[in-house]
Chain A
Amino acid sequence: MSKFHSTVTRRDFKKGIGQVGAGLGAAAATAPVFHDLDEVMAQSNADPQYRPWWIKERDFEDPTTEIDWQLSHRADRTKPFQNAAGYTSSRFSGTTSLEPTAALLAKLDALPTPVSPQIRDALATWPMAQWDFVKKKFPEWEGNTVRDYAMEAASASLAFYNFHAYGGYRNYNAATHKSSSFTGLETANTPEGLGFAKWQGTPEENLKMVRGAMRTFGCEEVAVVEVTTNTIKLVNAKNTSGKPINFKSVDKATDVGSEYVIPNKCKYMIIYTNLQPTYLTQRCPAQVGLSANKNSYTRMPVQRVQLQEFLRGLGYQGLQVDGLTQSCSWSVLGGIGEHGREAMNVVSPFYGANYRGIQRMLTDLPLAPTKPIDAGVASFCLTCKKCADNCPYSAFSTGDPEWEHWLEEERTADNVIDGHVYKGWRLSNYRCPRCQACQGVCVFTKIPDSGIHNIVRAMSSTTSIFNGFFRQMDDFFGYGTKEPESWWDMKSQPVWGIEPRYWTSI
């Protein structure tokens, strides 16, 4: 017998074969199954709507959240809707004291329209809730500093800037002519004006084209949902001022004093995303962290104008409907993410709860609709509850998805938008001041460097048996809120605040 080979008995050989077979069987339980070469080829960034193998697509209008389309109806936003956001920033209270409660309450009591007692009670605890939350995690933290307040104020200074109130770029519109955000600045040359024919492309080509433009304008993902007899119910019937929103068989959209008119042919809803600054979100709810969403709100008006003008340049209409619709429902239907316990934030399998201001625009440019996804997010939320555990204001449900709001005071006041038509989670609008602490701690909010994250995503997408273990490990490994002052000590804050590896990983 050659001395180069170890002998293997027949018994050992058969035992080895059996063990290898058992191992292969176990591996197959979590391995991707490709049915043909097209599926293999689709697993790359070249696909306009990149989906790794562990993200499954569902049928149109059938997300992981159950919806009663029969019960759903177009919302009347003139109904008063009370929420704590807007009353909690230092710019409202005008004070930076560690105990600004008295000053904040004085301002609330002086408002011409008083806030609800529920909000007043919630806000009475707000400043100390923020302090207590951060101090408990980081005892050495000495509180918000003047530069933290300056950062938040600067980030907010151009948030939601209304280009249309000031005549737009280069004053194509006279100083007294205010354009409509609904129909746009209308500064781009139309194809006819340049001597071109209107752009023609297949819906798939058009989606890829729009995605390319929006990535350049700073948007990570683009989804499309077609307006149907069901999804039209997600377009409000009236805006907050009582102005009706009507679909009609006309050629051009109009925004006149009495109504918004949407042509029936403008039936493709473009949903485009906007990440929050990565490392700032991890510092919420401290003051410097609160600048995270404001930075996104600053970029959003620019992106919506750019998309509108791009569509106009192609020869199509772009109707800005952010104020006429709600973001999460369209995002979920389009496959940006899933509805989870975060409720007011769609949870992306790639970016977690780090999206801010997912915008919507209707167009008549033919676009290929994108399907809802199942990436195991909603099922992970059932057991995880990390967002709820890290909310300073007890604004989260800790139970299972329900058809109604979990809080009696919200149910009684019907303080919800279309709140009875989906089986899911809801936040307390009275208590949630939009502190964003939940977004920073979501288990799916991860920077894409460690390989373990995709392993966890793939496994939780395939089976839920390890979800509880993954949540425990997320805590054990120290993921979540970071010490606020340490943001200023970073060697290098990323440009736009967003970790660039997010943009290159998809």
Chain B
Amino acid sequence: MWLIIGLVAGAAVLGLVLWMRGKDISVKWYEWLIGALGLALLLFTIQNFAGSLAELESTAANMFLLVSGLPAVILLAVSWQLVARRQRAG
């Protein structure tokens, strides 16, 4: 499972980078950092959500979605919006 997730995530990031180069979109180092943190937190959430379900801990699984999944989505959204708004302004 994690091999597939890694391949998908790697392909998605590569695709994103190539697409941004094509559109002449620049990304600051801190925008990369926020996005990477968001992606790492998303992967952490997926692993622990699936692991908690395997442990038959449904409450813990839902808590992971809330406690780490939501911040992951927020970080990814912040990273995206920082880039997008700078592009619109610039």
Tell whether, in the assembled complex, residue A450 and residue B60 are in contact, meaning their CB atoms are under 8 Å apart.
Answer: yes
Tell whether, in the assembled complex, residue A450 and residue B56 are in contact, meaning their CB atoms are under 8 Å apart.
Answer: no
Option from A6, A477, A490, A501 in Cβ contact (under 8 Å) with B60: A477
Whether, in the assembled complex, A59 has its beta carbon less than 8 Å from a beta carbon of chain B, the answer is no
- The range of chain B's interface size is 20 to 34
Interface residues of A in 330-375 (CB under 8 A from B): none
- CB-CB under 8 A from A12, the residues of chain B are 29
Report if A451-B51 is in contact (Cβ < 8 Å); known contacts: A279-B56, A477-B59, A479-B60.
yes
Q: Report the bound CA distance from A147 to B54 in whole Å.
A: 26
- CB-CB under 8 A from A169, the residues of chain B are none
Q: Report the bound CA distance from A478 to B59 in whole Å.
A: 6
Interface residues of A in 125-148 (CB under 8 A from B): none
Report if A4-B55 is in contact (Cβ < 8 Å); known contacts: A477-B63, A478-B63.
no
Contacts A/B (CB < 8 Å), 26 sampled: A3-B24, A6-B26, A8-B29, A279-B56, A446-B55, A447-B55, A447-B56, A449-B50, A449-B51, A449-B55, A450-B48, A450-B51, A450-B52, A450-B57, A450-B64, A451-B48, A452-B51, A452-B64, A476-B63, A477-B63, A478-B57, A478-B59, A478-B63, A479-B57, A490-B56, A501-B54
Could you list 14 further interchain pairs (A-B, Cβ under 8 angstroms) beyond the known A8-B29, A478-B63? A3-B24, A6-B28, A446-B55, A447-B54, A449-B50, A449-B52, A449-B54, A449-B55, A450-B52, A451-B47, A452-B51, A477-B57, A478-B58, A478-B59
A279 nearest in chain B by CB position = B56
- The range of chain A's interface size is 10 to 19
- Using a CB–CB cutoff of 8 Å, the interface residues on chain B facing chain A are 21, 24, 26-29, 44, 47-48, 50-52, 54-60, 63-64
A12 nearest in chain B by CB position = B29
Whether, in the assembled complex, A32 has its beta carbon less than 8 Å from a beta carbon of chain B, the answer is no
- Using a CB–CB cutoff of 8 Å, the interface residues on chain A facing chain B are 3-4, 6, 8, 12, 16, 279, 446-447, 449-452, 476-479, 490, 501
- CB-CB under 8 A from B29, the residues of chain A are 8, 12, 16
Q: How many A-B residue pairs have CB under 8 A?
A: 49
Tell whether, in the assembled complex, residue B27 and residue A6 are in contact, meaning their CB atoms are under 8 Å apart.
Answer: yes
Tell whether, in the assembled complex, residue A450 and residue B55 are in contact, meaning their CB atoms are under 8 Å apart.
Answer: yes
Report if A4-B60 is in contact (Cβ < 8 Å); known contacts: A447-B55, A449-B54.
no
Tell whether, in the assembled complex, residue B59 and residue A450 are in contact, meaning their CB atoms are under 8 Å apart.
Answer: no
- CB-CB under 8 A from B64, the residues of chain A are 450, 452, 477
- CB-CB under 8 A from A8, the residues of chain B are 29
A453 nearest in chain B by CB position = B51
Report if A452-B48 is in contact (Cβ < 8 Å); known contacts: A3-B24, A8-B29, A12-B29.
yes
- CB-CB under 8 A from B44, the residues of chain A are 451
Most buried by A among B24, B26, B55: B55
Tell whether, in the assembled complex, residue A4 and residue B21 are in contact, meaning their CB atoms are under 8 Å apart.
Answer: yes
Q: Report the bound CA distance from A450 to B64 in whole Å.
A: 10
Most buried by A among B50, B58, B59: B59
Q: Report the bound CA distance from A4 to B51 in whole Å.
A: 41
- CB-CB under 8 A from B54, the residues of chain A are 447, 449, 501
